[in-house]
Amino acid sequence: QERQRGRRRRRRRPTMKGSVGASRLRAEGRAASRPRPNKPALRACAFGSRRQPGTLAEKQYVVSQQRGHAMRLQKSRALAEATSEEADVKAGKKAFPFTRVVGQEDMKLGLLLNVIDQRIGGLLVMGDRGTGKSVVVRAVIDLLPEIDIVQNDSFNSSPTDKRLMSKEVRDLVKSGEELKTRRAKTPLVELPLGATEDRVCGTLDVEQALQQGSKAFSPGLLAKANRGILYIDEVNLLDDSLVDVVLDAAAGGINTVEREGISITHPASFIMIGTGNPDEGELRPQLLDRFGLYVEISTVNTPQERLQLALNRTQYDLNPEAFYAEAAEEQDALKQKLLAAKERVKDCEVSKDLRVKISTVCSLLDIDGIRGDMVVVRAAKAYAAYEGRTEVTDEDVGRVVGMCLGHRTRKDPLDPLGGIVKVQAVFKRIFADGLTYEDVRKMQEKSQAPAKPKEAEEGGEDASEKDSRAGLKKGAWKGRRGCK
């Protein structure tokens, strides 16, 4: 019995009321039965939740979570920048020369027209895999000249154009301070599929908020792409909300951020280039209309072109520097041609008669809005400037009208003509055949009218026979002749 009593005593847990631990806790001013902090709720509190920490321990936990997040974010950014720089150093090669790309003339022309006049609104390229979409987009960046940007500015601000300046640079200009500039290559920013809206638009700089206790803005990809090119591969797989944000910024030339108590507007003027595979899905019509030009490409089929393309790629992989040096003269000539075209496009003119014909084509195609009319005029002027002329002709409009209106036509499953083919057919009737709007509209109504039913009988039945079958269903037997 004594042994059992000893066991029971040992099993009993000491009460906190009279223990040394309880007295120590009371001396420190803490309760013995203090509840543990709700860590998931405090983590949410550390990253934007409305719940506020109550006790000192909870506040310390929140601060530690914020500092840990800032340190991890800083390490990840440093690692990403170091990785990209190491990759560039290790690669040590330039992009594939633009002038050595075989085929894909429409895609190359669409890129050049956007370089000449950025107001066209970008380019959307849809084609099968392995057709060189990404190669051509990365190659066009070498044709763009270097730009002057303000030092220590995250938005690639221009030292002369106020529309391309950030608020800080404009304040420096108003105060009369001299701006320090540097020459830099035109930026090419790629938007990955896994990017979030904070990374694209920008968000609160957590590191500076913790270290200095002040609110600061961390620029996103739209700020880095200012005065450059924003490239989205597999744009048809990108989240629609991100596509809307990017297209709004591209159309307006500015990006407005309202979040975490920060309100900022910065310039975001860039050329929007999107590529995708139609087998993986299509874009919504509302998003298609936001792209200025649209091109459909396919793999080159002629044996000579395929052979030349394979040989060029093999030489580039073996010795990129030597292959680029061979095309340097052609690249420089194209650069000078683009620079001259950018200056010449300001003087290009489109006659009123030509504008009326363009609007007639858009009306016959039932194009929604006037964005299509404006894009056709701008693209035709850019093409005329590229060809060395200041007067736009019918041939200039015919060369670009398919790229401008092909993706804006309404899709009809019963219509045998596709978007670009239908645009070319209507263009030919207005520009080449000289038909008016009323003539083409009558032809369309006549072709859409239902066909008249054929006469039912081939040998011909007399009127009495038709009357005798009145009231009977088709194929019903009305009985023998002469029988009632």
Instruction: Cite the DSSP H helix spans in 351-412.
Output: 352-364, 371-386, 394-405
139, 98 contact by CB (below 8 A): yes
Span of 293-302, 331-340, 381-390, 450-459 with lowest mean pLDDT: 450-459
Q: DSSP assignment of 95-141, as one string? A: PPPGGG--S-HHHHHHHHHHHH-GGG--EEEEE-TTSSHHHHHHHGG
Question: Does the pLDDT of residue 464 top 60, yes or no?
Answer: no
Task: For residues 17 and 21, give the distance between their C-alpha atoms in angstroms, rounded to a whole number.
Answer: 9
Q: Which residue has the higher pLDDT, 283 or 429?
A: 429
174 burial (CB, 10 Å; 0-12 / 13-18 / 19+) is exposed
429, 440 contact by CB (below 8 A): yes
What's the number of CA atoms in the CB half-sphere (13 Å) around residue 380?
23
Triad 423, 292, 377: Cα angle to 5°: 70
187, 228 contact by CB (below 8 A): yes
Span of 32-36, 359-363, 393-397, 434-438 with lowest mean pLDDT: 32-36
For residue range 398-444, what is the model confidence (pLDDT) as tens digits?
A: 999 999 998 888 776 655 566 788 888 888 888 888 888 787 777 77
Confidence of residue 31 (pLDDT cuts 50, 70, 90): very low
The answer to whether residue 371 is catalytic is yes
From the list 371, 389, 410, 441, the catalytic residue is 371
Task: For residues 141 and 227, give the distance between their C-alpha atoms in angstroms, rounded to a whole number.
Answer: 12
**Could you tell me whether strands 262-267 and 254-259 are parallel, antiparallel, or unpaired per DSSP bridges?**
antiparallel
The stretch 341-345 carries a mean pLDDT of 92
Task: For residues 93 and 316, give the distance between their C-alpha atoms in angstroms, rounded to a whole number.
Answer: 10
Distance of CA 462 to the CA centre of its chain: 69
The pLDDT assigned to 3 comes to: 63
Question: Does the pLDDT of residue 382 top 90, yes or no?
Answer: yes
Token pair 């601060």 is at which residue? 63
Task: For residues 115 and 110, give the distance between their C-alpha atoms in angstroms, rounded to a whole number.
Answer: 9
Q: Quick one: DSSP state of residue 13?
A: P
Mean of pLDDT over the chain: 77
φ/ψ of residue 65, rounded to 5: -65, -40
Which two three-digit tokens encode residue 79?
């690692």
Q: Which residues pair with 257 in a beta bridge?
A: 264
Letter string b/e over residues 213-252, b meaning 16 or more CB atoms within 10 A of that residue's CB: eeeebbbbbbbbbbbbbbbbbbbbebeeebbebbbebbee
φ/ψ of residue 49, rounded to 5: -75, 155
Which two three-digit tokens encode residue 206?
């957590």
For residue range 56-105, what is the model confidence (pLDDT) as tens digits?
A: 666 666 666 666 665 565 555 544 544 443 444 334 567 888 888 888 88
Instruction: Cite the DSSP H helix spans in 165-268.
Output: 167-175, 197-201, 206-212, 221-224, 240-252
Task: For residues 415 and 236, give the distance between their C-alpha atoms in angstroms, rounded to a whole number.
Answer: 24
Which two three-digit tokens encode residue 117?
């006049």
Q: Quick one: DSSP state of residue 391?
A: B
Confidence of residue 50 (pLDDT cuts 50, 70, 90): very low
Confidence of residue 378 (pLDDT cuts 50, 70, 90): very high
Question: Does the pLDDT of residue 480 top 60, yes or no?
Answer: no
For residue range 221-276, what is the model confidence (pLDDT) as tens digits?
A: 888 888 889 998 888 888 877 888 888 888 888 888 887 777 888 888 888 898 88
